[in-house]
Chains A and B, each alone.
Chain A
């Protein structure tokens, strides 16, 4: 199991975004650096959900927006550690759709359940495997940290 290190600010930002877009799914990218045990996330970047046809249960980030997010990450000396999205009135567990559409091997996919407009559980799943054909999700441990102090283990 890998570790996803989040600052309190990033953790709250992810969850706040899900509450703001409820009853639709929110989405965004996580920028960070590889750590010995997983990812150290430095920032959460909101993205637009292009699935306006079915935003209550689908999300898609425009590739062009990802080009620009990657460009900004490079400028900051960071990489894309993963992505986040919300599940309105649905568990914080990856779905068959989440799995089918996951292609960033080694990155973490963070999901927040938003129940009746309130963020509840936030989980993270690392996309492991050597290729698209043997990919699998494995649950991360999320460590919420503030100035090297572990505030919360999720």
Chain B
């Protein structure tokens, strides 16, 4: 599947805006992604190995946290995974 890398993390993925990963589930895709690009890991996961709260994952146009199987959702080669850090704020 294609994993789209957000602008600030591209420097840790060899400058690429998209990476092709062959793995069966979202969790496995993220594992393979961070094995191929180890510097991405600390930006996506806490020291305890949990996905950082501000990192949003979208399988195609669906928020992964609302999928029944969440990160254990099976994926196909035609799917895309978008990694999107949150953007919010205020005075």
Closest residue on chain B to residue A47 by CB atoms: B87
Pick from A27, A60, A70, A90: contact of B7, CB below 8 A.
A70
A57–B91 CB distance below 8 A: yes
A67–B58 CB distance below 8 A: yes
B90–A74 CB distance below 8 A: no
A80–B90 CB distance below 8 A: no
B86–A103 CB distance below 8 A: yes
B58–A64 CB distance below 8 A: yes
Closest residue on chain A to residue B85 by CB atoms: A103
Pick from B11, B18, B89: contact of A97, CB below 8 A.
B89
Interface size on A, residues (CB 8 A): 41
Q: Which B residues are in CB contact (< 8 Å) with A51? A: 88, 90
Q: Which A residues are in CB contact (< 8 Å) with B43? A: 105, 131-132
Interchain residue pairs with CB less than 8 A apart (30): A25-B91, A27-B87, A51-B88, A54-B90, A57-B90, A58-B88, A58-B89, A59-B88, A60-B88, A61-B87, A63-B84, A67-B61, A73-B7, A74-B18, A79-B17, A80-B7, A81-B7, A85-B90, A90-B91, A98-B89, A98-B90, A101-B54, A101-B87, A101-B88, A101-B89, A104-B87, A106-B11, A109-B89, A131-B42, A132-B52
Q: Which A residues are in CB contact (< 8 Å) with B61? A: 64, 67
Q: With an 8 A cutoff between CB atoms, is B56 at the interface?
A: yes
A67 touching B84 in the complex, CB below 8 Å, given contacts A74-B17, A79-B10 = yes
Residues from 79 to 98 in A contacting B, C-beta threshold 8 Å = 79-81, 83, 85, 87-88, 90-91, 94-95, 97-98
Q: Which B residues are in CB contact (< 8 Å) with A98? A: 89-91
Q: Which B residues are in CB contact (< 8 Å) with A73? A: 7
Pick from B11, B18, B85, B90: contact of A104, CB below 8 A.
B85
A83 touching B87 in the complex, CB below 8 Å, given contacts A67-B58, A70-B82 = yes
